[in-house]
């Protein structure tokens, strides 16, 4: 079982002041004859903004439209998303789209603080409005650091979230680095979340940072793809940066890591856009095909591409 890489889809050309660099954390939403891919791009000040591109349903490398106006404005000064917004997951519910996103704040003692925000669309993803000026998931008595990168499924009346929870910061090579893993929460309305400290994907000797889960139900089991990396030398050392892992579960709560079954790895070509890093993937189905969007080098600086499932 493996993924067949099809190539790069989109990377900003650096000429726009807002969509200046990076195309990070892609999420696919098939609609009509196209696939709308939501992602975030950085402006010249390094702040992330939410955008989308529409691509051909049969050949996602063919771009039909690039939306160059951000879907949401950055938050008011002092709010949780005043320095960045990154779409992470979209859920359909009663004719509306719920976009769960990552809100950014710069910090002083550490690099940043992340929270989970919510925006809602009533026109099938053309426009969104923020649910509130505050996050729907943030640090708490039980989680004193940050929450981020949620993936949400709605099953009947139950909303299920797999999200990233940070357990500590540590100074490594004179720089603060976060340690984070995947936890689980539930909700009855998609807004108010119940957390019980359930860890789904935990650290091991190869990974002390586990990011952006993607969960789906297939063949009678839950399957999760996620990113994992070391906390040392991951920005520049090949093999220490993000790679894509895989796990399975009978109930979506208790998971078994099977990273060797992920079926996708770093490219061997030293000039490739995904030679040093692959991560932040979204697995989805369209017209009987299973596809994976993913980022390459530089946390999305080299853009995003896709792969097709081949058994």
Rg (CA), the chain: 18
DSSP codes of every residue in 249-309: ESSSSSEEE-GGGS-----S-TTSTTSS--EEEEEEEETTEEEEEEE-GGGGTT-EEEEEE
Q: Show the domain range for 125.
A: 2-310
The H-or-E segment that residue 187 falls in is strand 175-187
User: Distances from the Cα of 113 to the Cαs of 107, 139, 147, 195, in angstroms?
Assistant: 7, 9, 9, 19
pLDDT of residue 240: 87
pTM: 0.97
Sign of CA dihedral 92, 96, 97, 102: negative
| CATH number of the domain that residue 102 is part of | 2.115.10.20
Give φ, ψ of 116 to 5 degrees: -110, 120
Total domains, the chain: 1
CA distance 59 to 37: 13
| pLDDT tens-digit profile, the chain (311 residues) | 699 999 999 999 999 999 999 999 999 999 999 999 999 999 999 999 999 999 999 999 999 999 999 999 999 999 999 999 999 999 999 999 999 999 999 999 999 999 999 999 999 999 999 999 999 999 999 999 999 999 999 999 999 999 999 999 999 999 999 999 999 999 999 999 999 999 999 999 889 999 999 999 999 999 999 999 999 988 888 888 999 999 999 999 999 999 999 999 999 999 999 999 999 999 999 999 999 999 999 999 999 999 999 97
DSSP 8-state assignment for residue 68? -
Q: By C-alpha distance, which of 268, 301, 263, 266 is closest to 283?
A: 263
pLDDT of residue 237: 85
pLDDT of residue 262: 96
């Amino acid at each position: 079982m493996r993924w067949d890489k099809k190539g790069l889809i989109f990377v900003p050309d650096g000429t726009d002041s807002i969509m200046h660099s990076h195309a990070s954390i892609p999420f696919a939403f098939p609609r009509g004859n196209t696939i709308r891919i939501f992602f975030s791009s950085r402006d010249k000040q390094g702040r992330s903004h939410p955008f989308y591109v529409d691509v051909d349903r049969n050949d996602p490398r063919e771009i039909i439209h690039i939306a160059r106006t951000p879907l949401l404005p950055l938050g008011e000064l002092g709010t949780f998303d005043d320095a960045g917004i990154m779409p992470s997951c979209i859920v359909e519910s009663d004719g509306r789209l719920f976009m769960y996103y990552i809100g950014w704040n710069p910090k002083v003692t550490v690099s940043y603080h992340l929270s989970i925000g919510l925006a809602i669309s009533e026109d099938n993803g053309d426009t969104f409005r923020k649910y509130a000026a505050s996050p729907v998931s943030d640090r708490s008595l039980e989680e004193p650091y940050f929450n981020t990168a949620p993936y949400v499924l709605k099953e009947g009346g139950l909303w299920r979230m797999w999200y990233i929870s940070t357990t500590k910061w540590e100074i490594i090579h004179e720089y603060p680095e976060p340690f984070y893993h995947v936890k689980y929460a539930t909700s009855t309305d998609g807004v108010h979340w119940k957390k019980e400290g359930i860890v789904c994907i935990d650290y091991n000797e190869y990974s002390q940072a586990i990011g952006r889960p993607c969960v789906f139900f297939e063949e009678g089991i839950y399957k999760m793809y996620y990113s994992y990396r070391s906390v040392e030398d991951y920005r520049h050392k090949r093999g220490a940066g993000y790679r894509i892992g895989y796990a399975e579960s009978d109930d979506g709560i208790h998971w078994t890591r099977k990273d060797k079954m992920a079926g996708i790895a770093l490219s061997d070509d030293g000039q490739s856009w995904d030679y040093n890093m692959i991560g932040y993937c979204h697995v989805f189905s369209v017209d009987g095909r299973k596809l994976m969007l993913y980022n390459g080098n530089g946390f999305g600086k080299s853009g995003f591409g896709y792969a097709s499932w081949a058994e």
